[in-house]
Structure 1
Amino acid sequence: MKKVLIPKRKLPWGSDHEAIIWLMAVLLVVGMVNVFSSTFITAENENSAPYAYLLKHLISMGIGFVLFAMSWRVDYHKWRDWLGPVALSIAALLLFVLAAGTVVNGAKRWIYLGAFSFQPAEFAKICSVMIAAYILSYRVEHKLPINILNAQYAFIAFLFVAVEMEPDMGTACVILGIPIVMLWMAGLKTYKLQRLALVGLAAVVGMCIYQPYRLERIKVMFNPWSDAQGMGYQTVQSVTAIGSGGFWGMGLGQGLAKYAYLPEAHTDFAFAVFCQENGFVLVALVLLLYGAFAYYAVRIARDAYDVYGQLLAGGIMLLVVGQAVVNISMVAGCFPVVGVPLPFISYGGTSLMMTMFSVGVLINIGRYSRAKQAKEKLDELRRNNLKNHEAALAAMPGRRRLQRIK
């Protein structure tokens, strides 16, 4: 009897959306370890248990898994149907933050409900991506011109302004920037893109004039040591932490940056602590994980069943990987200091939960598309078998067919 050789699967996943699950799981483990390593000193200084921040992070991760499981199973087309009420609710929360939000570090970004707190601007990120995917897919499918002058993008601009007034320029730029990139994904003409780029540049100049410290941050980015004790302090400490990690790192928990040298060592600058303690080898591995996430997310977007799925998957890829690129560039001193966390690794409840929710939507797009493609192949195979059977009967002589029937 001849043996049938079954090829062994070299990777632990069998599809693009399964790869995303594995990559997210590894990044979550890395983030969990890094949160504990970067916060146990801060927790002890606050007279709390060393694992206090880790416990809060795990609670956020647990809620994130619930949201992930929900968005994984719900057909992504249904979010389009619920988008109106959800978007209006998020807008109301943003207005409430401006009116009665809690001030933290000079900014109104949080709503506190007893021991529980959340940041509505994080909801606005995925909401803006869904709004852009909805209106752009509608225009593509109905062969309408692609432009930014519509009610949906006006609403996204409102979300941008509301978050900018908190102020939170980093999050505001994510809310508006990704939908603008999605215009290019939908086929916006080149000359319109150029005009849009000029408008964006003028807007950045205007925001720098409105808040002069932003212009100072841009200047300091080119030479942070010129103001090492002022505007350039975080960048200098961050770059120093990265350089001191060397090839192998100082060892887990042995880094010095978290000893009050580096502000926001567990949130926006968590990657600097990771670099100092783990060195070049593990840093390269984390960069590879984000690169693989982008690769498989692009494949899901490419193979999505409809235009809405393609644009939504592409927007979610930009939401996760784009924030990672901005955060890592900021930590390395290649980008001005902005409040953009590192997905899965930075400490932050609302950001982590909404990132996991977004990844669940991305996986649902992959699962839905694969199921539809499998069904279409099966239907085509059945049609071909039926045609072949009918052709065989038609070619058979009538007398011979009658004898067979008898």
Structure 2
Amino acid sequence: MTTATRERTGWLADARRSLDRPLTSYHLVLGVSGLLLALGVVMVLSASSVYSLQRYGNPYAVASRQLMWVAAGLPLAFVASRLPLRLVRALVLPGLLAAIVLLALTFTPLGVEINGNRNWLSFGGPFLLQPSEAAKLALALWGADLLARKSRLLHDWKHLFIPFVPVSGVVLAMVLGQGDLGTSLVLFSLVLVLLFVVGIPMRFFAALVVCVAALVTYLAVTAPHRIRRLTSFLDPFADYHDTGWQAAHSLFALGTGGWWGVGIGNSREKWGSLPEAHTDFIYAVIGEELGLAGTTIVLALFLTLAYAGVRIALRVEDTFVRLAAAGITGWLTSQAVINMGAVLGLLPIAGIPLPLVSYGGSAMLPTLFAIGLLVSFARSEPAARAALADRAAARAARKRRSARSKEG
């Protein structure tokens, strides 16, 4: 065996040992989420500075709000990581009902239309609420709880589908009624993940995918603005000054960044050429300022988060925890893939934010709550629970020894 081979084998062995540690999932979720959150704050500050100056007369206006949402979301994530499992499950049905009520309110005078989608609520004041973001979390947890309670009956397709599929269909229909096709795709991905994890027969799985694909195609080709989006996705330069503008300037940003980027704060596209630079298209600004290296690191971080979520789902013993971890992971991963795919020109523009990175409190708070739950689920892995118990016993023993030494 050559020296190079021995070094490579040794490196792989070290990596395998690191992944086999009992608290690996816990550390991965915390570390990756923290890195994405920190990067998001920096990139929102950079991408929004010109927009903030033009609209509010203060280059830090949007970034300050983002910091406020992060400051509010971190304690929320901590609380979620410490909530007893029984309390989480007791709250899932009220949470889903509240999400449905808020979705219904968007069809009243409280609803606000932005960029062709009536998916915002205004209760007065400067802040708007997007109920569909909370609906993702509510549907993931309610679906996990329902399917876990019926786990012994799921061999019968009626129990597998009812009431989970009809209720999910209601939520999806309300979001589609708002005109928000991107969020609908994320919700549908979440539903598919939950059904796949509980073992839906492949014929039902395929039929469900075909039906929803047909519905999405129908909605895409019957709405003029969606047809324009689809056309601009296929060739953004065919209608460069209209429907292809955003997609084209996203590609310009990525091309300008090259391998290593033009440097943080030096984006040219954020000066007004790239719409939604600090929200849906922040990944393009990352590509421009940090280059291919930056976008690859962000992609690797989301893949690592997905790996950690799958690892948790495979290792935990509780059925609800397994399904909830899978649902949350499916939600965050599908949303990240749809967002990055649109920025890269691989998918049509869907108008959804990049989790933990894009600006927005309506998305940030439910996402951080979900991350807190993933941290809690990681701590419930059998090996992790034993390791944490050993640590607690060791700390207690040190305290007793310290107390005895002081008394002596």
Q: Sort the Cα spacing of 1:209 and 1:280 in 2 relative to 1 into closer, same or farther, 3 A.
A: closer
Deviations 1:211-268 (A, max 9, x none): 2332332233222211112222111110111011001111111111111100111100
Q: 2:64 aligns with which of 50, 55, 59?
A: 55
Q: How does 1:147-226 map to 2 (within 5 A)?
A: 149-226=161-238
Q: Which residue of 2 aligns with 1:257?
A: 269
Q: CA deviation at 1:360?
A: 0.7
Structure exhibiting the larger radius of gyration computed from Cα positions? 1
Question: Identity over aligned residues, as a percent?
Answer: 29
The residue matched to 1:82 in structure 2 has which SS?
A: helix
Taking the aligned partners of 1:71 and 1:208, their CA distance within structure 2 comes to: 37
| Equivalent residue number for residue 87 of structure 1 | 96
Aligned equivalent of 1:105, options 93, 115, 119:
115
Q: Which residue of 2 aligns with 1:133?
A: 144
Aligned partner letter, 1:17: Y
> Which residue among 99, 116, 127 is the counterpart of 1:116?
127
Alignment check: 8 A CA contact 2:22 2:384 kept: no
Output the CA distance in 2 between the equivalents of 1:334 and 1:122.
24
The offset of 1:80, in angstroms, is 2.1
2:29 counterpart letter in structure 1 = I
Q: CA RMSD in A?
A: 2.4
Q: Mean alpha-carbon deviation: is it higher for 366-375 or for 221-230?
A: 366-375
Q: Mean alpha-carbon deviation: is it higher for 312-321 or for 221-230?
A: 221-230
Q: For the residues of structure 2 that align with 1:73 and 1:201, how far apart are their CA atoms?
A: 39
Q: How far apart are 1:354 and its partner, in Å?
A: 0.9
1:17-68 per-position Cα deviation (integer Å, ceiling 9, x unaligned): 1221111111111001100000111111124221111110011111111210
Cα distance between partner residues in 1 of 2:121 and 2:267: 33
* Aligned twin of 1:387: none
* Aligned-partner residue type, residue 122 of structure 1: E
The correspondence of residues 242-321 of structure 1 with structure 2, limited to 5 A, is 242-321=254-333
Gaps of 5+ in 2: 1-13, 391-408
8 Å Cα contact 1:139-1:145 kept in structure 2: no
Paired residue type of 2:112: T
Q: Give, in angstroms, the shift of residue 209 of structure 1.
A: 4.0
Q: Quick one: which amino acid aligns to residue 301 of structure 2?
A: L
Q: Is the 8 A contact 1:76 1:365 kept in 2?
A: no
Moved more, 184-193 or 75-84: 75-84
Residues 314-393 of structure 1 aligned to structure 2 (within 5 Å): 314-370=326-382, 374=386
- Normalised by the length of structure 2, the TM-score is 0.85
Q: Which amino acid aligns with 1:52?
A: A
Query: What's the offset of the Cα at 1:373?
Result: 5.5
Task: Report if the CA contact (8 A) 2:23-2:378 is conserved.
Answer: no
Distance 1:347 1:205 in 2: 29
Aligned residues: 371
Distance (whole Å) between structure 2 residues aligned to residue 272 and residue 55 of structure 1: 21
Is the contact made by 2:281 and 2:343 (CA closer than 8 Å) also made in structure 1?
yes
Q: CA deviation at 1:181?
A: 2.6
The change in CA–CA distance for 1:354 and 1:181 in structure 2 (over 3 A counts) is same
Q: C-alpha separation between the residues in 2 aligned to 1:321 and 1:34?
A: 20
In the alignment, structure 1 residue 29 sits paired with structure 2 residue 41: no
Tell me if the contact between 2:266 and 2:289 (Cα under 8 Å) persists in the aligned partners: yes
1:394 matched residue in structure 2: none
- 2: distance between equivalents of 1:213 and 1:328? 21
| In structure 2, distance between residues paired with 1:50 and 1:315 | 38
Contact in 2 for aligned 1:133/1:312 (Cα 8 Å)? yes
